[in-house]
Each structure stands twice: as structure tokens, then as C-alpha cells.
Structure 1
């Protein structure tokens, strides 16, 4: 993972991102449950940050949590994400952000099936999916 931080002006972010990506990544928005383009994606590949392209999650860590958002048991590399306390909306949660561009990805909860028991609940709008290349593709 790169340690170089990506810092753009608000105008540059608005030019780079779609309005929905901007709302999620830069304003900590949340897409409506069961509406994201990757919620039901079962293809093999890599999920990258829609803001900066940093690899975040692998398809083998994705599972159907029933929550309505893409859910993962762990990031591809722990250094790809940072976690912050989020006390908005009258509750205490742990926000997950991209370590390279500080884009809001979603939240992590302690009710996942993996070895760490975590559920990374991530907005599709914060992600870009790169399918795994198969031999002969």
C-alpha cells in the first residue's frame, strides 16, 4: 500500500467523482440499503476506492450479510483503511475511511463471520470493482 496521501480541492473532487460518489466519499453519506451496484456482486476480483483507486477489499472476503450493503470480513491490507469513531445520528459507530484519500467508505461492526468477527459494511458508491483476469481473457 502506498503511504502517499491524495489531497484534492473540493472542486477537484467534484470534477473527479459522480454526485453520488461525492456525497458518500466526501460528505460521509450513505446509499440506501439494497440499492448499491455491488451489493449482490459475486464475481471474483478486487474492490478499489472510487476516489483514488487504492485496493481495499478482495472478493474472497465478501459475503452476504443481509444488511443491504456490500459486506467484507476484512480489508485486503489493514493499512488500506483507517477507522474513526463516528457519533453522528445519535449512535456510536466505527467509521471506515480510505487511508490514501480519507474517503468515507462505510462502517465496521463486531457481528461478522470471519476470524476477527468483523463486518465491514461498505457503500457501493465508494467502490470500483476490477474483475479478476482469467487465463485467456
Structure 2
């Protein structure tokens, strides 16, 4: 796949911490309930930690009690790409940054959350940075 932001693996390793690299570039998962943004209620925009692309707004974030930040919709439909993920012996939908291809987490549907989309974008905090709204 081709992305607007493409870098050699050595450059990603140099720019990201080992933990960020493991999640963003190798599709790892940070431990539940330890991420910086799991319980954050700050208003603002969540962007990709690897390339800065705007991904989610805080007004679509909700408490799912799953251990990772949850959103019911991306900021723009083109902000993320969804890919079939059959790892770990189950069928899931992986969420990646559409600008650089970095792994963000997974999206789940039909779990019964009272959200407008009935979707839960379960995103690793370490994949994101939050720019608080001014004012």
C-alpha cells in the first residue's frame, strides 16, 4: 500500500520510542488501563503520534470501560483505513492511519453501546497525541 507519509523502517525506529514503534509500526497492543488517554475528558483533537494526521475528536470519545480510549467515529471517513485482521485466531477489523499506515487499534460493531454509530474504535493511547481545544 502507498501512503502520503512513507519512511524507511530505520527512520521510524529513530523517531519513535520502542513502545511506540511496537504498537504503531508492528501492530502491537499496549496493556489495558495504562494508556495516557484512557480516561481523558479533555476537549480536543486526537492525532496520529507517528505523522500528526487528525484522526478523532474528543466529542466522539466515550467510556467503554474496555481499558483503551474508545471513539464511535473518526474525525473524517478518510482519516483511517480499515483492514481485515485474522491474527490471534479471530476475525477483527484493524484501524490504521490512512496517512502513514500506522496501527491504531481495532473497530468493533454491535456491542450495544448507546452511540450514534454502534461502533467502538478501540485505539491505543500510545498511537495518539491530543491537542486540546483553545479557550
If the TM-score is normalised by the length of the shorter chain, which range does it land in?
A: over 0.9
Number of the residue aligned with 1:58: 57
CA distance in 2, matches of 1:31, 1:119: 17
Unaligned stretches of 5+ residues in structure 1: none
Following TM superposition, by how much is the alpha carbon of 1:115 offset from its aligned partner in structure 2, in angstroms?
A: 1.9
Alignment TM-score, normalising by the size of structure 1: 0.93
Which secondary structure does the structure 2 equivalent of 1:114 belong to? coil
Q: Judge conservation of contact 1:73–1:113 (CA < 8 Å) in 2.
A: no
Number of the residue aligned with 2:70: 71
Write the mapping of 1:24-103 to structure 2, written as runs, cut at 5 A: 24-103=23-102
Tell me the C-alpha RMSD between the 2 structures.
Answer: 1.2
Following TM superposition, by how much is the alpha carbon of 1:58 offset from its aligned partner in structure 2, in angstroms?
A: 0.3
Write the mapping of 1:98-113 to structure 2, written as runs, cut at 5 A: 98-110=97-109, 111=111, 112-113=113-114
CA distance in 1, matches of 2:114, 2:9: 38
